[in-house]
Amino acid sequence: MLLVICLAVGLWVLGAVMRVPTRTRWSMIGVLYFAVLLANLVLPEGNPVRQMTGESPVLWLLIGGFGIMVLVYRAGLKWLRSRVQEPEQTMPQGPFTETELNRYARHIVLREIGGLGQKKMKDAKVLVVGAGGLGSPALLYLAAAGVGTIGVVDDDEVDNSNLQRQVIHQDKAIGMPKVFSAAEAMTAQNPFVTVKPYHRRLTEDDADALIADYDLVLDGTDNFDTRYLVNRICVAQGKPLISGALSQWEGQLSVFDPANDAPCYQCIFPEAPAPGLAPSCAEAGVIGPLPGVIGSMMAVEAVKVITGAGAPLRGEMVIYDALYGESRKMKLKRRAECPVCGSAG
């Protein structure tokens, strides 16, 4: 008996050293087993070969029976696994793939969003104007949330000085147009969304046609001409506008939506400030994480507007002071004399 075990181990080790396939090694041991069994069945009692291999065929028949039971058990498990997996493979596809359902599971279990809200996000089209400090986190979180189509407009290129706060861009993207750098990061994060980059400055000539293709606009630009232009087009088309702004340690955001009885941007900021009164980030500086806070809040407001969850910041403005860790909210009202959304418009 011990001799046969030693021979079997020797065959296995020799096969491993010679890199013989596992199945072939098992076959060699099987041949050894049947040779020993046959010897114990055929040779007479007292034969030296039988004495060295256990003397009785009963033990070898028991070992063979146990081996057959193991093989049958493994085959049965394999068959059961295939039966369990079969419905998964033939399951009809709905609006989401299995991967998407798993990806958005934390949204779907939220009572305020659920499967219907996630489907609304998949069907939504959101335009983000500006791929800088505010656009960076907003774009990343919109993509991660599963907004189906995201447009991004910007005529700038990635600069080394942007990387302190514009987290969607990487060092290797320096010199690349921001819209293409952003699109690359978004599709890498979520390949189930469609990103449409527009490498140009939004102008009077194309703003109307471009915004018409989207349901909602996020404005993260740093110049008042573009802000007023986007606001006028959104009001004319009845599109909600989520606008954010930054300065040094302070940020603000609101949802401007006159179609839902909220003021528009020009109701609150009737005129652009005089030159020098509202310096840019390059002139005044800005703490790096601040755009992440305000841009992420803009993405949250976008999700709320799309899904109908909670109370979006219509007619309200949140102001966040990062230096002292304070937030405050103020009420905003429409102006009847507003040239864009008021009676004078």
Model confidence pLDDT, tens digit, residues 271-330: 888 776 666 677 778 999 999 999 999 999 999 999 999 999 999 999 999 999 999 999
Give the pLDDT confidence score for residue 54 in this predicted structure: 67
Cα–Cα distance list, 190 to 48, 195, 331 (Å): 72, 10, 36
Model confidence pLDDT, tens digit, residues 12-29: 667 666 766 666 766 777
- Give the tokens for residue 92: 């009809």
Per-residue pLDDT at 164 exceeds 60: yes
DSSP 169-202: S-GGGTTSBHHHHHHHHHHHH-TTSEEEEE-S--
- Percent of the chain surpassing pLDDT 70: 77
Would you identify the CATH topology of the domain 103-331?
Rossmann fold (3.40.50)
Rounded mean pLDDT, 104-112: 94
What are the residue ranges of helices labelled H in the chain?
2-17, 22-42, 48-52, 57-90, 98-103, 105-108, 114-123, 135-145, 178-189, 207-212, 224-237, 265-268, 281-284, 290-307
Rounded mean pLDDT, 188-215: 95
- Give the tokens for residue 148: 């189906």
Give the pLDDT confidence score for residue 35 in this predicted structure: 72
Give the pLDDT confidence score for residue 237 in this predicted structure: 96
Other CB atoms within 10 Å distance of the CB of residue 3: 11
Nearest to 243 by CA among 259, 197, 260, 226: 226
Model confidence pLDDT, tens digit, residues 52-105: 666 666 676 677 777 777 777 777 766 665 554 433 333 334 688 999 999 999
Model confidence pLDDT, tens digit, residues 219-239: 999 889 999 999 999 999 999
> How far is the C-alpha of 105 from the C-alpha of 113, rounded, in Å?
11
Model confidence pLDDT, tens digit, residues 111-135: 999 999 999 999 999 999 999 999 9
- Percent of the chain surpassing pLDDT 90: 66
CATH 3.40.50.720 domain extents, the chain? 103-331
Q: Does 95 or 148 have the greater pLDDT score?
A: 148
